[in-house]
A = this chain, B = another copy of it.
């Protein structure tokens, strides 16, 4: 198995050359004094070193060993505790955190790259910092000053980790029907009682304390999603002076045996009148969670990208080493028993398919990061508002399209290994099992598709979609006289026209057919994803063309992968558009009991 090498050159390309992060950061009041290209570069280098050397090497064994549950205590796999310590000591937990409470305040465009490395190194390990960062976001956005002061510094340092407690056995997608109860104690605290499942790193031995954010209902709360409140429930109580007090009445009942991410503990958490504190307003729990959701959902897409990148690195190494059969052009290495399989067109097709997707995903997630940075760090209200619309529109795509394509990519990376891909020691099958969860958790991809099609497109008459399309159109217009760009610009024009056309079609259908949104959703999300990647690849091709004579082969390669994407992947939009236009009738005609 290949050793993970962080794709720093590609990350710098996306950051500095495609999205000109230096200009973005210099333009935003919140980042201009915090980060510049040199700082960013140093951060990327340091993160790569730590992850390549300390974290990635643990991943394979963590899958075999898993987290272990013993009478309520959970032990992380061998080496995780020490690696977590090293990660915390490097300050990585607080990389994007609020500087007022000890965070480093780095922009998402940058932290996204570090997140990709971390998740490529080990998804199981990476989930702990990821959940902590998510919990911090909610506390920072909605918690009282007292809560922030009491909890954030130790969470940014990683001394305490965070967990999100949403799902219950009967309530996953539909959080409106949760049963966990909260009752007021009269002293500002609440008692929380109920059972939560699928709680990632809900219990473990890596951090001194675990801060749970728990959704629960007050006795008089309205039914459904409008009656949910969010509570901060620490595993160990925190005294006034910040020291740890007695154990709170919550416990881990068991951990799940699952398909992948076995190194991480997926916990059943039992709350038995556990003490908690309200985060945000009463009955506003879902809104408070959603503050965090856009970040988390993007990170899930980035997680999937990380695993896909690792699978690609393994596959390329194997394809260069494995000797099997001869090139159709004749022997390439007559002195060897056979040619390396990378000579075969179909192996190259698989490798290029992987690469076009991972590099498209890296550009796209950084692009979404750019909009998140503007919403967070700009002081211009109009810019913030427009950026928020883009974040809302693009986030479900970043979560679901990246993860759907990452499953394909890791399956392809496994396929290149033939029978060896099915054997555990090679690691390729683990990446498939691990990445599979990214399509499921943090809102299953079908839910992301409904969110995009229903809430983000149809509900506002396609307004945000038009903003996105206008941006693409202005890129097209700016490059329409560039003959070298024509091979990208012409199809991109067709794709953006098609997306607008299909969007109008669904908006129209939805007026008279309640099922139109659900019927179109999944294919529409993929259509959007391919179109957005076409835009990403055109932008990357533009930069590559400008530097083609620089003597750096990197740009010629980039251009070739762009061509592959345009000529051999983008055609999928035709099929997706036809499916969408077929409407809902074939889906709805069959009675439920005849399935």
Contact = CB atoms under 8 A, between A and B. Distances in A.
Nearest to A350: B446
A309 to B, nearest CB: 13
B421 A560 contact: no
Interface in A376-425: 407, 411, 414-415, 418-419, 421-425
Nearest to A332: B592
B519 A349 contact: yes
Interface string A432-458: 110011011100111001100000000
A578 B587 contact: no
A359 interface: no
A548 B569 CA distance: 41
A584 interface: yes
A582 interface: yes
Nearest to A595: B316
Contact of A590 (B167, B172, B347, B352): B352
Nearest to A522: B346
A457 to B, nearest CB: 15
A494 to B, nearest CB: 12
B592 A340 contact: yes
Contact of A594 (B319, B344, B553): B553
Contacts of A171: 324
A571 interface: yes
Contact of A575 (B258, B349, B574): B574
A256 B418 contact: no
A224 B216 CA distance: 69
Contacts of A490: none
A571 B574 contact: yes
A518 B595 contact: no
Q: Is the interface of A mostly helix, strand, loop or mixed?
A: helix
B574 A349 contact: no
B440 A436 contact: no
A348 B446 CA distance: 11
Task: State the oligomeric state as a number of copies.
Answer: 2
A342 interface: yes
A482 interface: no
A311 B391 CA distance: 36
Given A170-B323, A422-B440, A444-B418, A567 B594 contact: no
Interface string A451-486: 000000000000000000000000000000000000
A554 to B, nearest CB: 9
Contact of A338 (B174, B349, B588, B595): B174
A440 B348 CA distance: 17
Given A419-B441, A446-B347, A519-B345, A432 B424 contact: no
Contacts of A584: 345
Interface in A573-594: 573-576, 578-579, 582, 584, 586-590, 592-594
A418 B173 contact: yes
A444 B323 CA distance: 16
A441 B576 CA distance: 31
Contacts of A411: 407, 436
Contacts of A563: 586, 589
A429 interface: yes
A427 B344 CA distance: 37
A260 B422 contact: yes
A503 to B, nearest CB: 18
A1 interface: no
Interface of A: 167, 170-174, 177, 197-198, 256-260, 316, 319-320, 323-325, 328-330, 337-338, 340, 342-352, 355, 407, 411, 414-415, 418-419, 421-425, 429, 432-433, 436-437, 439-441, 444-446, 449-450, 514-515, 517-519, 521-522, 553, 557, 560-561, 563-564, 567-569, 571-576, 578-579, 582, 584, 586-590, 592-595
21 contacts: A170-B323, A172-B324, A172-B418, A256-B423, A258-B423, A259-B429, A260-B422, A320-B592, A328-B515, A329-B514, A343-B592, A345-B515, A345-B584, A346-B519, A346-B521, A346-B522, A348-B587, A563-B586, A568-B579, A568-B582, A573-B575
The 9 A-B residue pairs with the shortest CB-CB distance, nearest first, are A345-B518, A571-B578, A259-B429, A567-B582, A571-B575, A564-B586, A174-B324, A574-B574, A345-B519
Given A257-B423, A415-B439, 17 more contacts: A173-B324, A173-B325, A174-B323, A197-B419, A258-B423, A259-B423, A259-B429, A320-B593, A345-B515, A345-B518, A415-B440, A418-B440, A421-B440, A422-B441, A567-B582, A567-B586, A571-B579
